[in-house]
Every structure is written in C-alpha cells, then in structure tokens.
Amino acid sequence: MKNLNLKVRLRNKTFVISMLSVIVAFVYQVLGLLGIVASISQDKVINILMFIINILAGFGVLVDPTTDGFKDSDRVLNKK
C-alpha cells in the first residue's frame, strides 16, 4: 500500500464519511444475503448519516484541502 498513508487518510473527514456509507451498505447487503431484516431500514440510516453530514458541511467541518483524489502526495505519505 505504497500509495496510501492510512494514518493520515483516516484523519481525512471526507474519507471517513464515505467509508461509513460503504460500511452501512455492506452490512445491509450481508443482512439481505442472510435473510435477516433489520429493525431500521437502510434508507433511514443513510438519511440520518446524510443529515449529520449536511450539518457538518454547513459549518465547514468537512473541508480538507490537503488530500486530492485517491493517491496521497509525497508530503502526506511521509507525514507522521
């Protein structure tokens, strides 16, 4: 994993939020494959996450200009 510095990437708020969305979708897919019906629908969970994300974005919390695209810069890869 030379192209990613996970310690720095996990501090990137946008990356963390997108991973949360992926994890929610993955959990609901596994539950569907197992025939388990969750007590709260995936749409409701996603709507709650999007509500929180919109509030944070409105306050400017999610802006992180240090990472561009998927590959980190050399400066960020060497950051501790």
pLDDT at 63: 56
Instruction: Kindly state whether residue 34 falls inside one of the protein's structural domains.
Output: yes
Question: In b/e form, how buried is each residue of 47-60, taking b as 16+ CB within 10 angstroms?
Answer: eeeeeebeeeeeee
Mean pLDDT of 61-65: 58
Mean pLDDT of 39-67: 77
Instruction: Kindly state whether residue 69 falls inside one of the protein's structural domains.
Output: no
Instruction: Kindly state whether residue 38 falls inside one of the protein's structural domains.
Output: yes
Q: How many domains does the chain have?
A: 1
Instruction: Kindly state whether residue 78 falls inside one of the protein's structural domains.
Output: no
This prediction has a pTM of 0.58
CA dihedral sign of residues 33, 39, 54, 63: negative
- The whole domain housing 29 covers 6-63
pLDDT at 43: 87
pLDDT band for position 45 (50/70/90)? confident
| Average pLDDT value for the chain | 78
Tell me: pLDDT of 68 over 60: no
The CB density around residue 19, as the number of other CB atoms within 10 Å, is 13
Instruction: Kindly state whether residue 73 falls inside one of the protein's structural domains.
Output: no
